[in-house]
């Protein structure tokens, strides 16, 4: 379980196809505190640590199934790609964003970017089957970042990025056409399910 508050921006330093895809991610975490088998959200994908480096050269390795590659933007990763990282939530941690599972529901596409003062308004197009779960002033996780939706028009929705978010995450790298991991709000999913049962 995660909160969508990015705690480090890592970098893909190695990709190997070994049966499953294996990725090495350079980071600033204290790797001595990362257990083998721990979960780390990488651009919003909950991935399992299978190896780790030293404090002098901090990195961790994850193994990624073909299913995860097909359902996310992991297939777009290359050596040098910067990733939003978040360690799993611990009891007592501050819940600054919203409850995020790290299970990506689909991929949204950046369709427009407009600077508004120091902030940037970004429009996304969600997959049709997920658009109904995105609501104005509701929460979404995009590339692992907890964000508030400004407006919704059909399958298109907008989010505003303040300067801090662009600097503290990889959102400063994003451009039109990029594919973005989308996880809908768990509450929205259950509300929709209850409405189906009630109809």
Of the pLDDT bands very low, low, confident and very high (cuts 50, 70, 90), residue 190 is low
Of the pLDDT bands very low, low, confident and very high (cuts 50, 70, 90), residue 91 is low
What's the distance, CA 127 to chain centroid? Answer: 16
Of the pLDDT bands very low, low, confident and very high (cuts 50, 70, 90), residue 186 is confident
The answer on pLDDT for 189 being more than 70 is no
Model-level pTM? 0.92
Q: CB-based contacts of 142: which residues, under 8 Å, 6+ apart?
A: 44, 108, 124, 159, 180, 181, 182
Of the pLDDT bands very low, low, confident and very high (cuts 50, 70, 90), residue 55 is confident
- Is residue 138 within 8 Å of 149, Cβ to Cβ? yes
Which has the minimum average pLDDT: 18-27, 146-155, 163-172, 184-193? 184-193
pLDDT of residue 94: 65
Q: How far apart are CA 137 and CA 149, in angstroms?
A: 5
pLDDT of residue 93: 66
Query: pLDDT tens across 110-121, in order?
Result: 999 999 999 999
Q: How far apart are CA 167 and CA 41, in angstroms?
A: 19
pLDDT of residue 192: 66
Q: How far apart are CA 199 and CA 45, in angstroms?
A: 33
Q: How far apart are CA 24 and CA 36, in angstroms?
A: 14
Task: State the average pLDDT over residues 15-27.
Answer: 96
pLDDT of residue 95: 67
Residue 187 DSSP SS3: helix
Q: How far apart are CA 102 and CA 127, in angstroms?
A: 18
Domains by residue range for the chain, with CATH: 8-87 (2.40.30.20), 106-198 (2.40.30.20)
Pairing of strands 21-26, 39-42: unpaired
The answer on pLDDT for 96 being more than 60 is yes
């Amino acid at each position: 379980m995660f909160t969508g508050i990015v705690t480090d921006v890592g970098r893909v330093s190695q990709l190997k196809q070994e049966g499953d895809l294996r990725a090495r991610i350079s980071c600033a975490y204290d790797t001595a505190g990362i257990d083998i088998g721990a979960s780390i959200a990488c651009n919003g994908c909950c991935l399992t640590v299978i190896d780790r480096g030293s404090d002098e050269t901090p990195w961790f390795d994850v193994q990624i199934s073909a299913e995860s590659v097909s359902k996310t933007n992991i297939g777009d990763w290359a050596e040098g790609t910067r990733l939003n990282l978040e360690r799993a939530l611990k009891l007592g941690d501050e819940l600054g964003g919203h409850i995020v599972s790290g299970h990506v529901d689909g991929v949204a596409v950046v369709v427009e970017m407009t600077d508004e003062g120091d902030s940037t308004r970004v429009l996304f197009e969600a997959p049709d089957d997920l658009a109904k779960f995105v609501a104005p002033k509701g929460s979404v996780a995009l590339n692992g970042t907890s964000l508030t939706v400004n407006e919704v028009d059909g399958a298109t929705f907008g989010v505003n990025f303040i300067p801090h978010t662009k600097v503290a995450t990889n959102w400063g790298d994003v451009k039109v056409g990029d594919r973005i991991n989308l996880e809908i709000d768990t509450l929205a999913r259950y509300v929709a399910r209850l409405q189906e049962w009630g109809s």
